[in-house]
Structure 1
């Protein structure tokens, strides 16, 4: 399996994953595994432990590729390929969580339901996006099986929402002063992996306009609420010359500009406010409390700078509408 993701023409961050190559299973290992699995009586093959794990769940979790494929081949005609353990995870979802890209590939090709969800409504796409498993995500997207990129989990999040929220969490962790050099390096690597997942999902067709069910937020609101300026810039540039409403959409009555005006200074507040204004954010829009973004700015010098930007933006916006 070779997969080359589409290259982006954006001038913003280039989150392009490297091509991947999944080798075929080793013939001798697979032959030996088929012999072992073939000798198992059906009742043992279908036996579940106290956590409702089947033998296939266990092989997937341990990365035992040949045995997992051999077990999948026997369980498919028995309709147990998508058996769920106590958390609602199928063997495919366990393989995704265990970051076993080759087993993910084998199970999908064997007929595993790629849109199956666990007890939290999370599909293989949700899990790969949340954990930032780029290679696993590439495998899922590249095999050509029908996928629902806009499927929402029980929190109302699409896979793209999950990746953005996970990236926000990493940014918060990177801001911690107590990190060792090794911890910081690991978090930066995870951050790049998540960025690759975000780019890959968008290139495959995930919508930046999808709103979560609970709060009505888009990825724009998510990036602003955590001061994630690199992703904010990326999404704004993706939207350039497309939807005029995107930048002014409301979540709980607040636009992204309302949220930006209320940010603490250490969250890139001034830069984010300016970026939103540059991309058409309207500072005259009022929220449910009848407040404009300028009313949300904190007191003090930092708030004064933001208010100055918003006043300038208000004049510019009035000029454009004339």
Structure 2
């Protein structure tokens, strides 16, 4: 029996699936019993994980539709990845959008505590297929990926289990200035990853052409230069030697002094 092809996945990004392939995939999946649809192999993969990893978009949509009806759309394989996390890691933006449209949980995490947003900051979308793709192009892809996931409800405050990194920490560590600029438009706090704030990480970006701008942006958005790491270092202690390091050290010192004056003023008013 032919499935109702009026069901459609509303994409926020990318192209529409092939209607003929989708109709065939739905017919194929309609012939499978529920046990085969939900079965997980020795690696914990469902048929949806497999279709997703192979980039078989229309089959992934049909499988996701069946699993959604069984409330198992977010089944995890042995590394804790749902099909959505597999799609992000594999740089498959259309399938990411399909799964999100079908109700995949955007804030679920793998065994390392990485959500789709963390993985996007690591990998982004490989939309530029040329092997000589520029760094700026890859940075733009990651920004587009992060924007999409945030629009779908990802949390900026979620942290990886092993590293405690937020997406801001990851963006700063990579020196992705476009992503940092975007993220800092959203209120942030001074969360730590293994004792280091994003400001500590920016201070450690020796030689990065965007280091100064990142430090300035973080300070403007409320980063506290007085916070110490587990090693008792303030951000200023992590700066490089030389003219740039001295400029940034003076900037951090001024902000630190300004913060102390503000605190004392508030105490006096009390």
- Same-fold status (TM-score > 0.5): yes
Change (3 A) 1:133 1:182: closer
Tell me by how many angstroms 1:204 deviates.
0.8
Change (3 A) 1:215 1:267: farther
Pairing 1:298–2:254 present: no
Pairing 1:96–2:38 present: no
Q: Where does 1:191-230 land on structure 2 (aligned, <5 Å)?
A: 192-230=140-178
Give the gaps of 5 or more residues in structure 2.
Answer: 1-7, 266-270
Pairing 1:284–2:226 present: yes
* Structure 1 equivalent of residue 79 of structure 2: 120
Q: Where does 1:151-300 land on structure 2 (aligned, <5 Å)?
A: 151-167=108-124, 182-185=130-133, 192-239=140-187, 246-266=188-208, 268-300=210-242
Change (3 A) 1:303 1:186: closer
Q: Is the 8 A contact 1:83 1:90 kept in 2?
A: yes
SS of the residue corresponding to residue 75 of structure 1 reads: coil
Tell me which of the two structures has the higher relative contact order, counting C-alpha pairs closer than 8 angstroms and 6 or more residues apart: 1
TM-score (norm 1): 0.70
Q: Which moved more, 1:196-205 or 1:104-113?
A: 104-113
Q: Is the 8 A contact 2:142 2:179 kept in 1?
A: no
Q: Distance in 1 between matches of 2:232 and 2:134?
A: 44
Tell me by how many angstroms 1:70 deviates.
3.9
Q: Distance in 2 between matches of 1:197 and 1:295?
A: 34
Change (3 A) 1:94 1:262: same
Change (3 A) 1:270 1:73: same
Cα offsets for 1:227-286 (capped at 9, x unmatched): 1111111111122xxxxxx33111111111111112222252111111101111011111
Change (3 A) 1:281 1:133: same
Q: Distance in 2 between matches of 1:193 and 1:135?
A: 13
Q: Distance in 1 between matches of 2:238 and 2:140?
A: 33
Q: Is the 8 A contact 1:132 1:197 kept in 2?
A: no
The alignment covers a number of residue pairs equal to 253
Tell me by how many angstroms 1:140 deviates.
0.6
Q: Distance in 1 between matches of 2:154 and 2:93?
A: 15
SS of the residue corresponding to residue 65 of structure 2 reads: helix
Q: Where does 1:136-151 land on structure 2 (aligned, <5 Å)?
A: 136-143=95-102, 145=103, 147-151=104-108
SS of the residue corresponding to residue 183 of structure 1 reads: coil
Tell me by how many angstroms 1:129 deviates.
1.7
Q: Is the 8 A contact 1:76 1:110 kept in 2?
A: no
Give the gaps of 5 or more residues in structure 1.
Answer: 6-16, 31-65, 171-180, 240-245
RMSD of aligned alpha carbons: 2.8
Q: Is the 8 A contact 2:224 2:256 kept in 1?
A: yes
Q: Is the 8 A contact 1:134 1:194 kept in 2?
A: no
* Structure 2 equivalent of residue 111 of structure 1: 67
TM-score (norm 2): 0.82
